[in-house]
């Protein structure tokens, strides 16, 4: 019992730390864009360097334990990155070219609601009053952010991209939970990052959109994006999922939009009108409601609905 409690506390701590550092992603991305980074260059370098760092640490751990990843592990992790992580990151970073970071953040962080709904649809969780309340809060919250009176016109392309990213991240969370039943979290993070880096590198090379003609300050933002907003939170989040499951790990991400919103307002000078502040509060309240309802978890079993990639 004590060991289980310690594992849950560790999982919660990892998910919280991941939430705070993941919250810096959109800010560093916006700053990197201002330093003339292109989308494909930025993301291929971000995930390429992240894979190198995560893979080095993972390799040392595997060697110390006398283990070697199985071919199936290598393939599933790479495909997770190439087919899911790359789509999620690409859509979110593309949305930032159309939307202010604060709006993109609020739309993307509807993904805990989507994770809970997907878990219900897949029969992995039951419909409860807190989940209904969360949905009832999230829907009007998003509406207020987008269409409340007094809001300037918001680019529908950016909205579509941000919501698409939330859907892709929902798939990433659920598939990661499935793979983590058999795979080391750090190894999976390294392989997924490598897969995403390969996908963006191929896309950039084939379209001729890879360029390193960047302002010197841009390399600092890239380093921050790799270390602060990718390597640490990715490994921590996967470690959290392994200990407390996907729904709880996602809903603990309440701090992600709060951190990101605060930084967007303080660092980028963005502003939300009163109706959008109310909408943001409703979205965050929905996530908090889900967090409280997911605090005690059922034993995790392999999912049969979503085959490993």
Model confidence pLDDT, tens digit, residues 130-182: 778 888 888 888 888 887 666 677 899 999 999 999 999 888 888 876 676 66
pLDDT at 203 over 80: yes
pLDDT at 282 over 80: yes
- Binned at pLDDT 50, 70 and 90, residue 297 comes out as very low
pLDDT at 306 over 60: no
* Mean pLDDT, range 60-68, rounded to an integer: 75
pLDDT in tens, 68-98: 767 777 888 899 999 999 999 999 999 999 9
The winner for highest mean pLDDT among 81-85, 229-233, 244-248, 267-271 is: 81-85
The lowest-confidence range among 9-18, 29-38, 119-128, 130-139 is 119-128
**pLDDT for 199:** 96
Give the Cα separation of 98 and 275 in Å (integer): 21
Give the Cα separation of 249 and 268 in Å (integer): 28
* Mean pLDDT, range 289-308, rounded to an integer: 45
Count of positions (residues) in the chain: 309
pLDDT at 255 over 80: no
Is-contact 106 145, C-beta < 8 A? yes
pLDDT at 215 over 80: yes
* Mean pLDDT, range 85-114, rounded to an integer: 90
Helices 274-293 and 101-108: crossing angle in degrees, nearest 10, is: 30
Cα–Cα nearest to 41, from 230, 222, 169, 165 = 222
- Binned at pLDDT 50, 70 and 90, residue 302 comes out as very low
**pLDDT for 308:** 25
Report the percent of the chain where pLDDT is more than 90.
30
**pLDDT for 57:** 84
pLDDT at 129 over 70: yes
Diameter of the chain measured on Cα atoms: 62
Give the Cα separation of 109 and 288 in Å (integer): 12
pLDDT in tens, 227-237: 999 888 877 88
pLDDT at 298 over 70: no
Give the Cα separation of 5 and 12 in Å (integer): 11
DSSP percent split of the chain into helix, strand, coil, nearest 5: 75, 0, 25
């Amino acid at each position: 019992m004590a060991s289980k409690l310690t594992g849950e506390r560790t999982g919660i701590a990892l998910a919280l730390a991941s939430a705070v550092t993941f919250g810096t992603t959109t800010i560093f991305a916006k700053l990197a864009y201002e330093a003339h980074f292109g989308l494909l260059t930025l993301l291929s370098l971000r995930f390429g360097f992240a894979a190198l760092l995560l893979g080095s640490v993972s390799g040392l751990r595997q060697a110390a334990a006398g283990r070697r990843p199985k071919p199936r592990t290598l393939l599933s992790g790479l495909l997770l990155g190439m087919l899911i992580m790359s789509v999620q990151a690409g859509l979110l970073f593309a949305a930032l070219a159309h939307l202010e970071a604060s709006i993109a953040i609020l739309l993307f962080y509807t993904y805990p609601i989507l994770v809970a709904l997907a878990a219900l649809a897949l029969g992995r969780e039951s419909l409860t009053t807190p989940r209904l309340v969360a949905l009832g809060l999230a829907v009007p919250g998003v509406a207020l952010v987008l269409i409340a009176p007094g809001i300037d016109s918001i680019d529908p392309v950016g909205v579509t991209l941000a919501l698409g990213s939330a859907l892709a991240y929902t798939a990433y969370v659920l598939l990661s939970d499935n793979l983590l039943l058999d795979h080391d979290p750090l190894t999976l993070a390294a392989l997924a990052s490598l897969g995403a880096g390969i996908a963006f590198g191929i896309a950039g090379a084939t379209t001729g959109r890879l360029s390193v003609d960047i302002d010197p300050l841009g390399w600092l933002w890239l380093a921050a994006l790799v270390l602060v907003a990718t390597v640490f939170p990715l490994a921590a989040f996967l470690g959290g999922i392994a200990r407390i499951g996907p729904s709880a790990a996602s809903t603990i991400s309440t701090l992600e939009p709060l951190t990101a919103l605060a930084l967007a307002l303080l660092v980028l000078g963005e502003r939300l009108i009163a109706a959008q502040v109310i909408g943001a509060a409703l979205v965050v309240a929905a996530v908090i409601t889900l967090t409280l309802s997911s605090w005690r978890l059922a034993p995790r079993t392999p999912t049969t609905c979503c085959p490993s990639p």
